[in-house]
């Protein structure tokens, strides 16, 4: 995602009442410290991140800012008032909570300098097996391919501006309307209103000549890095034994798959089965693995022997390099600078690590946490019927789900993982709750509660954020 603007709405009206919208408390970590933040989160919740590498992209887990600051992560606090807006920048984690009722909306947009973050984000997404929202490679290629059109349009605008200056310098007369003064002068547009020229161009549709020069230059730098990475990936596939190389056919409007064999012929909008990387630029497929595709780096994991696989490519490396050379001819100095900066940014590594203080909760502590939670529920609820033991057990499992992080406690987790720990804690809580209520939970109550802890915990963990959320802008 690109830069995000978050708007605070002033009031919420209903048919019967008007309620004042409350403020939103925000906490953020700058992109310069995103590595420290991720290290600190792993230090706090290692078992959750091991089971769900995408945990930091989900709106379900929050850690106290004090815990993060204790680990050396720089954090900033902001109160988002109604009627105002907040801009979050790329690769900056942010989170918070509502201080009451709230209505908010957000919109994502990407100025040209957002392109600098894309290549590193692709690598991070692949490591976390997170699919990209759209094809970054396709965007880069389209922007770089527009270099000639953008350069020609810039020259045309420069020539037309010079001609207009010559006409003005020659004292060209005419009516007041032509000179832009007097009675015939057009009224100035309203502040902030788009000009009629831009509205006309919007209606006509955006063309390649409308692309900002800065976007072309920055895209050329990032594409240079991606071409180098793509060359390494294709070499990896060749070393694994993939010999056949076939150009993609079908295009984005076609099915992209051979109907008879069920094998991809075009992997536009297809992700790698192993790392979820975008396969717009290249992929590895096989007639012996219909409906599957992987990136060249994971050719050996497709299934069939690599010798019976084929490498699908959209553009050869020579074509991509020729495209970069054409962009360099159009904007020589700017593209060279952008290429050097992009490669330096790709090589840069975080220099400061978070302080290691250990996990917030150990899995071995969950049964005790569940027992204490059940005791608190029992103390609030007083003596009830024997059937209430199931309710108390649910309370214990909810607390265990909160402490375990909730969303990752899903059915099918590995034995001995978080889900198993929650199930064991819930079974213990069921017995403790039944004793606390003076009744006895049946074996069915306990077993059902323990088995469904993985399904019950996520909803509680999601709601325990207080209506707020945490996100990351990539």
For the chain, give the percent of residues with pLDDT over 70. Answer: 64
Mean pLDDT, rounded, of the chain: 73
Q: Which pLDDT does position 203 carry in this prediction?
A: 66
Q: Which pLDDT does position 32 carry in this prediction?
A: 87
Q: Which pLDDT does position 471 carry in this prediction?
A: 44
Contacts of 140 (CB under 8 A, 6+ apart): 115, 118, 219, 222, 223, 226
Q: Which pLDDT does position 99 carry in this prediction?
A: 83
Quick one: pLDDT band at residue 196, thresholds 50, 70, 90? Answer: low
Section 142-169 average pLDDT: 79
Quick one: pLDDT band at residue 352, thresholds 50, 70, 90? Answer: confident
Residues facing 283 on adjacent strands: 312
Section 391-413 average pLDDT: 34
Q: Which pLDDT does position 168 carry in this prediction?
A: 55
Quick one: pLDDT band at residue 24, thresholds 50, 70, 90? Answer: confident
pLDDT digits (tens, 9 = 90+) for 455-467: 323 322 222 233 3
Residue 373 has pLDDT above 50, yes or no: yes
Residue 157 has pLDDT above 60, yes or no: yes
Residue 7 has pLDDT above 60, yes or no: no
Residue 442 has pLDDT above 80, yes or no: no
Contacts of 86 (CB under 8 A, 6+ apart): 5, 6, 8, 26, 78, 80
3 state SS of 190:
coil
Higher-confidence residue of 385 and 269: namely 269
Q: CA dist 294 to 103, 301, 407, Å?
A: 42, 8, 28
Residue 281, Cβ density class (10 Å: 0-12 exposed, 13-18 middle, ≥19 buried): buried
H or E, element range at 339 = helix 332-347
Quick one: pLDDT band at residue 256, thresholds 50, 70, 90? Answer: low
Q: Which pLDDT does position 286 carry in this prediction?
A: 93
Least confident of 257-271, 309-323, 455-469: 455-469
Q: Which pLDDT does position 349 carry in this prediction?
A: 82
Q: Which pLDDT does position 161 carry in this prediction?
A: 67
Section 338-366 average pLDDT: 86
Residue 58 has pLDDT above 70, yes or no: yes
Q: Which pLDDT does position 240 carry in this prediction?
A: 93
Pairing of strands 310-313, 244-247: parallel
Quick one: pLDDT band at residue 75, thresholds 50, 70, 90? Answer: very high
Pairing of strands 92-98, 24-29: antiparallel
Residue 154, Cβ density class (10 Å: 0-12 exposed, 13-18 middle, ≥19 buried): middle
Q: Which pLDDT does position 350 carry in this prediction?
A: 77
Section 178-194 average pLDDT: 40
Quick one: pLDDT band at residue 427, thresholds 50, 70, 90? Answer: low
Residue 105 has pLDDT above 80, yes or no: yes
Q: Which pLDDT does position 419 carry in this prediction?
A: 52
d(CA 164, CA 158): 10
pLDDT digits (tens, 9 = 90+) for 229-246: 999 999 999 999 999 999
Residue 137 has pLDDT above 70, yes or no: yes
Q: Which pLDDT does position 456 carry in this prediction?
A: 29
d(CA 233, CA 231): 5
Section 157-174 average pLDDT: 60
Residue 140 has pLDDT above 80, yes or no: yes
Residue 207 has pLDDT above 60, yes or no: yes
Q: Which pLDDT does position 441 carry in this prediction?
A: 37
For the chain, give the percent of residues with pLDDT over 90. Answer: 33
Quick one: pLDDT band at residue 194, thresholds 50, 70, 90? Answer: low
Taking residue 76's Cβ as centre, other Cβ atoms within 10 Å add up to 12
Q: Which pLDDT does position 319 carry in this prediction?
A: 95
Section 32-39 average pLDDT: 90
Q: Which pLDDT does position 251 carry in this prediction?
A: 55
């Amino acid at each position: 995602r690109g830069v995000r603007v978050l708007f605070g709405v002033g009031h919420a009206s209903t048919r019967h009442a008007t309620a004042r919208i409350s403020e939103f408390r925000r906490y953020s970590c700058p992109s310069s410290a995103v590595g420290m933040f991720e290290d600190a989160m792993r230090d706090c919740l290692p078992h959750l991140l091991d089971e769900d590498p995408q945990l930091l992209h989900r709106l379900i887990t929050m850690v106290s800012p004090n815990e993060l600051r204790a680990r050396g992560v720089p954090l900033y606090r902001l109160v988002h008032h109604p009627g105002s807006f907040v801009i979050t920048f790329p690769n900056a984690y942010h989170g918070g909570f509502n201080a009451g009722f709230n209505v908010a909306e957000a919109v994502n947009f990407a100025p040209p300098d957002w392109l600098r973050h894309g290549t590193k984000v692709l690598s991070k997404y692949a490591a976390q097996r997170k699919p990209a929202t759209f094809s970054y490679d396709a965007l880069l290629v389209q922007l770089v391919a527009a270099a000639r059109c953008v350069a020609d349009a810039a020259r045309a605008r420069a020539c037309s501006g010079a001609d207009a200056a010559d006409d003005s310098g020659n004292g060209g007369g005419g009516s007041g309307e032509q000179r832009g003064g007097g009675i015939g002068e057009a009224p100035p547009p309203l502040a902030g209103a788009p000009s009629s020229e831009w509205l006309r161009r919007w209606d006509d549709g955006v063309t390649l000549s409308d692309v900002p020069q800065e976007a072309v230059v920055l895209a050329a730098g990032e594409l240079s890095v991606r071409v180098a990475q793509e060359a390494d990936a294709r070499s990896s596939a060749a070393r694994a034994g993939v010999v056949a190389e076939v150009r993609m056919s079908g295009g984005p409007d076609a099915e992209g798959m051979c109907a008879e064999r069920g094998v991809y012929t075009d992997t536009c909008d297809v992700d790698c089965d192993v790392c979820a990387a975008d396969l717009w630029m290249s992929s590895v497929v096989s007639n012996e693995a219909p409906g599957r595709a992987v990136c060249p780096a994971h050719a050996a994991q497709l299934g069939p022997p690599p010798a019976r696989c084929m490498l699908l490519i959209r553009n050869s490396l020579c074509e991509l390099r020729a495209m970069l050379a054409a962009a360099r001819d159009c904007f020589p100095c700017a593209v060279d600078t952008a290429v050097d900066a992009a490669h330096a940014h790709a090589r840069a590594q975080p220099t400061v690590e978070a302080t290691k203080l250990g996990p917030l909760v150990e899995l071995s502590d969950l049964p005790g946490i569940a027992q204490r939670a059940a005791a608190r529920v029992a103390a609030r609820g007083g003596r009830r019927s024997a059937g209430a033991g199931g309710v108390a057990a649910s309370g214990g499992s909810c607390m265990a789900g909160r402490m375990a992080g909730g969303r990752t406690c899903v059915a099918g987790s590995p034995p001995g993982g978080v889900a198993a720990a929650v199930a064991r804690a819930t079974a213990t809580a069921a017995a403790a709750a039944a004793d606390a209520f003076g009744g006895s939970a049946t074996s069915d109550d306990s077993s059902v509660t323990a088995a469904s802890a993985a399904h019950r915990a996520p909803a509680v963990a999601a709601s325990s954020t207080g209506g707020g959320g945490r996100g990351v802008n990539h």
